[in-house]
Amino acid sequence: MNEDLRHITVLLDEAVEALAIRQDGVYVDATFGRGGHSRAILAQLGAQGRLIAFDRDPAAVAASKALNDGRFTLVHEPFSELAASLDALGVARVDGVLMDIGVSSPQLDDPQRGMSFRFDAPLDMRMDTTRGEPVSQWLARATVAEITNVVRDYGEERFAYAIAKAIDAARAGSPIATTGQLAALVAETVRTRELGQHPATRTFQALRIFINRELEELSLTLPQAVSKLNTGGRLVVISFHSLEDRIVKRFMRDHSRPPALPRGLPIREADRPRPSLGLVGDAVRASDAELSANPRSRSAIMRVAQRTDAAFAGGAA
């Protein structure tokens, strides 16, 4: 099946509407994927508009070649390079940034990417297969404590230590090189699990998040995105995991409040520093119709904030 046809863009209309697109505006799609959001943004831009998209997945970069549009630029970098890449392109400010966080359907559905236990394949999990080390190499050298911390912190797995010990024992005999090996090992170790969930779900999720530095990437990028927004520009973020959404929620909340001042400082209310972001509406989830058409949208949550004309203090998410 054609890879593009397998990917259904989540919250497509809602996200593009949240950007409040101006025809002559400049926008960033920080996660191109297979271009669903990018195509919808371009459809609303005029001849003077511009869209810069980012993706670190070589397959997504290849898919972007089909989007032959002079208003469109694809950058093969993680979105943590957003500010530096925009500077290199001569783009000082943008009118909106859209981030659709997490793994895409083509990545999950391609056995060779090693992100799913549905297929027995090389244990890789990298979003950018041209850089970094696959999970199999990391598991071969990581300590029991390191594996425990990753599985517990990124997968919220209560059996993390038992899984780490089982991995350590198994690799003494032969390397854990495939998804099938790891899934079977975890299934033997974790005897109880939520109804309908494979015992290895949390472990696979944790290793993928860790090896791709997904939470760190998100925390690095949010301040960059706000710093590049024009007054009135929108930051739209779609998350699929509670750890991601927690980072986004706290970042938007903290920067939508006035900066903290020393206690007892005499200052008039009119002179108080103003927040650099304003929250736009409530969190948005997939509709019943979208859930029916695309069950993978069930965990999606979208948050939106708008840049004010106040100075942005920056800082990590």
pLDDT at 260: 67
The fourth-level CATH superfamily of domain 3-105+214-307 is: Vaccinia Virus protein VP39 (3.40.50.150)
| pTM beyond 0.95 | no
Average pLDDT for residues 181-191, to the nearest whole number?
A: 94
Does the annotation place 55 within a ligand binding site?
A: yes
Domain at 129-211, CATH class: mainly alpha
- Per DSSP, the three-state class of 51 is strand
Is 198 annotated as contributing to ligand binding? no
3-class DSSP state for residue 310?
A: coil
What does pLDDT average to over the chain? 91
For residue range 281-301, what is the model confidence (pLDDT) as tens digits?
999 999 989 988 888 788 899
Q: Is 107 annotated as a binding residue?
A: yes
- Average pLDDT (133-156) is 97
Amino acid 5: pLDDT: 37
> Is residue 100 part of an annotated ligand binding site?
yes
- Quote the percentage of the chain above a pLDDT of 90: 76
Length of the chain: 317
Helix (H) or strand (E) holding 96: strand 94-100
- Residue 205 in marked binding region: no
User: Where in the chain do CATH 1.10.150.170 domains reside?
Assistant: 129-211
Distance CA 197, CA 117 (A): 12
pLDDT in tens, 18-69: 999 999 999 999 999 999 999 999 999 999 999 999 999 999 999 999 999 9
pLDDT recorded at residue 243: 94
Long-range contacts formed by 272-278: CB under 8 A, 24+ apart = 273/310, 273/311, 274/308, 274/310, 275/308, 275/310, 276/226, 276/307, 276/308, 276/310, 276/311, 276/312, 276/313, 277/226, 277/235, 277/252, 277/305, 277/306, 277/307, 277/308, 278/305, 278/306, 278/308
- 263 vs 92: which has the higher pLDDT: 92
pLDDT band at 118 (very low <50, low <70, confident <90, very high): confident
